[in-house]
Chains A and B, each alone.
Chain A
Amino acid sequence: MTSAQILFYTFSFFLVASSLIMIFAKNAAKAVLFLVLVFFSVAGLWILLEAEFLAITLILVYVGAVMVLFLFVIKMLNIDKSTLRAKFAGYLPLGLIVAAIIVAEMTMVLGHEQFGLNIYPAPEKASADYSNITILALQLYTDYVYPFELAAVLLLIAIIAAIALVHRPEQNRKKQDISEQVSVRAKDRLRIVSIAKNNKEVNND
């Protein structure tokens, strides 16, 4: 058993185990932490696949920013305390069966006859000065520069959308509505009441 294989099986074991624990976790914070572990395992797998840059990016961006964001929201809304006991039992068998069938079928498709080593041989290991970043950058900034810019715009839109959704203007603020002020009519502000004259009573005085 080569070291690559040992690493592979270790990482995949942790991956599968922590993902299973994550979906069955009742505590939301615990689930987030196990997701973090999932991502670490995935990053390990990616390094085995010689995609170092993306592995590091996964850790830095994904775990570092997105998971932290998750934790922020959970803590802010106090969700972990308000989570009720989930009722898994009813649907679990059905879901597991369906998932198992999907996995079985995909295994049949993606099995060794179609994608094994005899069809796609393992590539040669890269040399020590192989710079994954350089290779990626050479492609990214020349052939794929346009999607790159679009991705930036997409992020900008996401920021604006997130802020616009959640932002609450202050509730009891007094402000002016100019158009309403200009379109006011006299009878909205003033009411004239006529008091009928009663001659008899006046004369009696």
Chain B
Amino acid sequence: MKLLYLTIVLAPLIGSIFAGFLGNVLGRKATHSITILGVLISTVLSLYAFNYHVLEGNSAFNQNIYTWLAFGDLSISVGFLVDNLTAVMLVVVSFVSLMVHIYTIGYMHDDDGYTKFFSYISLFTFAMFMLVMSNNFMQLFFGWEAVGLVSYLLIGFWHHKESAVEANLKAFLVNRVGDLGFLLGIALVLMYFNTLDYVQVFNNVNNIAGITIVDDWSLITTICILLFIGAMGKSAQVPLHVWLPGSMEGPTPISALIHAATMVTAGIFMVSRMSPLFELSETALTFVMIIGAITALFMGLLGIVQNDIKRVVAYSTLSQLGYMTVALGVSAYSVAIFHLMTHAFFKALLFLAAGSVIVAMHHEQDIRKMGGLKSKMPITYWTSLIGSLALIGFPGFAGFYSKDMIIEAVHYSQLPYADWVYFAVIAGVFITAFYSFRMFFMVFHGESRVDKHTESHLHESPWTITIPLIALAIPSAFIGFYTIEPMLFTGWLESAISIGPSHTSMEILKSHFISALELISHSIVTWPFWMMILGVITAWIFSLYRTEWADWIKNKFKGINYILESLYGFDRFNEIFFVNGFKRLGEFFWKVTDAGLIDKTLVNGSAKLAGFFGSLIRPIQTGFVYHYAFFMILSLLFILTWVLYSGENPLLGLPF
């Protein structure tokens, strides 16, 4: 089995190395074949591992493969912990990555950096595998940083575009802020547990339950909140969410791969993995839940006013990540993972469909210039429809199951502020339906606002683009139905996740669950269902039926519109406070301390001081010989006097 896991991890890496270094030599066809072969191997083996661990129920695999470094009594190794949670993540990551690899053949067809792109996405897949399969904090951090790095490289893939460069810097820097918290959390773990290995930490977690640091902050709460700050950076929770919309500057395949399905879910995965730690701190769980709720609600609101097709989906991702975080907060870890899985499929599908539309529209991304594409692009249309229905939680589709379970779990939670969060997630359903169908109607239905030239070229995308769309549409439709019961209630993830006795949401959910079919029929009497219907109808009204009402509302509520369009001012605040602040600080350190203090005062100043003392002493050298002779005579006199009269036994005593 060890060989199997090593192959899963290394196959994309080898593909990436080939594509990166030999890409130009091998040519396009060979490059994409090698990389796709690598990811295909990983996918097949991941499915095998899933079968082995989850379906056949074999025990988890936990082994250190290679000791990376050892100092003192701490040894950090590369190791794999493959249990049910890991297996689920492996399947999701490898499948979506495979779809994106195939999609890239068609999407990046005209691009010069074709082979470089394949190298990067395979490298990303490798990093994500390392993250997911790690059995200690250090390897997790390695994978964490590596996915951040590859995300930076990919967002700025078109590096001659100014906006892309700014966006990738922003992504990296904001991620860094999150990583700082993450690193501090890992440091605290190391300090108090003396080990970075997961299993050892989890087994000893009760030892530190009562410790407090720095005036009665509970240690466990501090560790959990610091780790969660890392997750906030990676999974783009408020206020570290500002990088995700900017990351849309990268090509669409990576938006699908990284910013919908895999990298942003790393934070969610990490918190689930750390469930033994989080369960001991109710404060941390409440914090997680509230941040998630804020993100879910407010980011959804921003999706309503976006006009770029990818931005709508980006804010949708932010909002859904908020949902997953809320589920983590109410201790429904398996629900969060379930939603992660379904979201990966339908969000990747939506991004790839958006990419298909963009390619057909010759890289036009503004939805106000689209419309009536249904007849021209049928496959894209139907797959987008499935994806959107999954996203809004239409009964029967995957998203319905996962989202509803989240809402139910929040409903049964005992945490403080849980009722406010319940309101937020239900309102979020309406907002989600509204913005996703607003986009859907504006792009595919109604009168065509496409300009004439593009319209003449409009056609369905090639099979390399549409096959992945179909391949992703199938799980978006059906996977919820089949996996809800085993994943949430009959213990697929039970061995990997531990829940404390006071957090009873999952218990209550389990007790209320009858079957998947029953959930569909039961949904008609629940709030989310009617919120969704209301959202769809409202979207239809404002985008198809009476678009002028939309303009009227926009004019009437100018203030709210301004707030939404300026994205709540987060970017502006960061720009003014942090960017400017650091720029000023840097200028200060440059001009005052470096140039002024060190260069002028210390370096030049010491030279001038030496010169000053020199100029005081220099006049003694007059250049006249008789002056020198006189000094000699004077010294002679002095020595004579000294020898004669001083010391213990002077040659002569003073007469008095």
* Closest Cβ neighbor of B640 among chain A residues: A105
Closest Cβ of chain A to B628, distance in Å, is 14
Q: Which of A5-13, A94-102, A133-141, A145-153 interfaces with chain B? A: A94-102
Contact between B634 and A98, CB atoms less than 8 A apart: yes
Assess whether A60 is interfacial by the CB under 8 Å rule: no
Instruction: Report chain B residues within 8 Å CB of A106.
Output: 640
Closest Cβ of chain A to B653, distance in Å, is 11
Closest Cβ of chain B to A178, distance in Å, is 43
**Which of A95, A98, A109 makes the CB contact (< 8 A) with B644?**
A109
Q: Which of A52-110 contact B (CB under 8 A)?
A: 91, 95, 98, 101-102, 105-106, 108-109
- In this complex, how many residues of chain B approach chain A with their Cβ under 8 Å: the count is 10
* Closest Cβ neighbor of A106 among chain B residues: B640
- Measured in the bound complex, the distance between the Cα atoms of B505 and A87 in whole Å is 114
Contact between B652 and A108, CB atoms less than 8 A apart: yes
* Closest Cβ neighbor of A105 among chain B residues: B640
Closest Cβ of chain B to A84, distance in Å, is 15
Instruction: Report chain B residues within 8 Å CB of A95.
Output: 630
The secondary structure that dominates the B interface is helix
* Closest Cβ neighbor of A111 among chain B residues: B652
- Measured in the bound complex, the distance between the Cα atoms of B640 and A121 in whole Å is 27
Contact between A102 and B640, CB atoms less than 8 A apart: yes
Known: A105-B644, A108-B644. A98 touches B633 (CB 8 A): yes
- Measured in the bound complex, the distance between the Cα atoms of B651 and A95 in whole Å is 26
Interface membership of chain B positions 614-653, coded 1 if the CB is closer than 8 angstroms to chain A and 0 otherwise:
0000000000000000100110110011001000000110
* Closest Cβ neighbor of A102 among chain B residues: B637
Instruction: Report chain B residues within 8 Å CB of A109.
Output: 644, 651-652
Instruction: Report chain A residues within 8 Å CB of B641.
Output: 105
Closest Cβ of chain B to A130, distance in Å, is 37
Closest Cβ of chain A to B656, distance in Å, is 14
- In this complex, how many residues of chain A approach chain B with their Cβ under 8 Å: the count is 9
- Measured in the bound complex, the distance between the Cα atoms of B637 and A108 in whole Å is 14
Known: A105-B644, A109-B644. A98 touches B651 (CB 8 A): no
Q: Which of A108-161 contact B (CB under 8 A)?
A: 108-109
Contact between B652 and A98, CB atoms less than 8 A apart: no
- Measured in the bound complex, the distance between the Cα atoms of B633 and A98 in whole Å is 8
- Measured in the bound complex, the distance between the Cα atoms of B634 and A95 in whole Å is 10
Instruction: Report chain A residues within 8 Å CB of B637.
Output: 98, 101-102, 105
Closest Cβ of chain B to A38, distance in Å, is 20
Instruction: Report chain A residues within 8 Å CB of B636.
Output: 102
- Measured in the bound complex, the distance between the Cα atoms of B652 and A102 in whole Å is 15
Interface membership of chain B positions 297-326, coded 1 if the CB is closer than 8 angstroms to chain A and 0 otherwise:
000000000000000000000000000000
- Measured in the bound complex, the distance between the Cα atoms of B636 and A98 in whole Å is 10
- Measured in the bound complex, the distance between the Cα atoms of B651 and A107 in whole Å is 13
- Measured in the bound complex, the distance between the Cα atoms of B640 and A108 in whole Å is 11
- Measured in the bound complex, the distance between the Cα atoms of B521 and A70 in whole Å is 137
- Measured in the bound complex, the distance between the Cα atoms of B634 and A91 in whole Å is 14
Closest Cβ of chain A to B615, distance in Å, is 25
Closest Cβ of chain A to B350, distance in Å, is 81
- Measured in the bound complex, the distance between the Cα atoms of B634 and A101 in whole Å is 10
- Measured in the bound complex, the distance between the Cα atoms of B640 and A105 in whole Å is 8
* Closest Cβ neighbor of A113 among chain B residues: B652
Closest Cβ of chain A to B19, distance in Å, is 63
Instruction: Report chain A residues within 8 Å CB of B633.
Output: 98, 102
Interface membership of chain B positions 86-107, coded 1 if the CB is closer than 8 angstroms to chain A and 0 otherwise:
0000000000000000000000
* Closest Cβ neighbor of B626 among chain A residues: A91
Instruction: Report chain B residues within 8 Å CB of A105.
Output: 637, 640-641, 644
Closest Cβ of chain A to B635, distance in Å, is 11
Instruction: Report chain B residues within 8 Å CB of A108.
Output: 644, 652
* Closest Cβ neighbor of B634 among chain A residues: A98
Closest Cβ of chain B to A47, distance in Å, is 31
- Measured in the bound complex, the distance between the Cα atoms of B378 and A84 in whole Å is 120
Q: Which of B503-551 contact A (CB under 8 A)?
A: none
Interface membership of chain B positions 464-493, coded 1 if the CB is closer than 8 angstroms to chain A and 0 otherwise:
000000000000000000000000000000
Closest Cβ of chain B to A41, distance in Å, is 24
- Interface centre among B636, B641, B652, by most A CB within 10 Å? B652
- Measured in the bound complex, the distance between the Cα atoms of B637 and A105 in whole Å is 9
Instruction: Report chain B residues within 8 Å CB of A101.
Output: 637
Closest Cβ of chain B to A116, distance in Å, is 16
Instruction: Report chain A residues within 8 Å CB of B634.
Output: 98
Instruction: Report chain A residues within 8 Å CB of B644.
Output: 105, 108-109
- Measured in the bound complex, the distance between the Cα atoms of B651 and A4 in whole Å is 32
Instruction: Report chain B residues within 8 Å CB of A91.
Output: 630
Closest Cβ of chain A to B454, distance in Å, is 67
- Measured in the bound complex, the distance between the Cα atoms of B640 and A101 in whole Å is 10
Closest Cβ of chain A to B160, distance in Å, is 53
- Measured in the bound complex, the distance between the Cα atoms of B644 and A102 in whole Å is 12
- Measured in the bound complex, the distance between the Cα atoms of B334 and A163 in whole Å is 111
Listed by A's residue number, 11 A-B pairs whose Cβ atoms lie within 8 Å are A91-B630, A98-B630, A98-B633, A98-B634, A98-B637, A102-B637, A105-B641, A105-B644, A108-B644, A108-B652, A109-B644
Beyond A101-B637, A109-B652, 7 additional contacts (C-beta under 8 Å) are: A91-B630, A98-B634, A98-B637, A102-B637, A102-B640, A106-B640, A109-B651
B residues neighboring A (CB under 8 Å):
630, 633-634, 636-637, 640-641, 644, 651-652
- Leading 4 A-B pairs by shortest Cβ distance: A105-B640, A102-B637, A108-B652, A98-B637
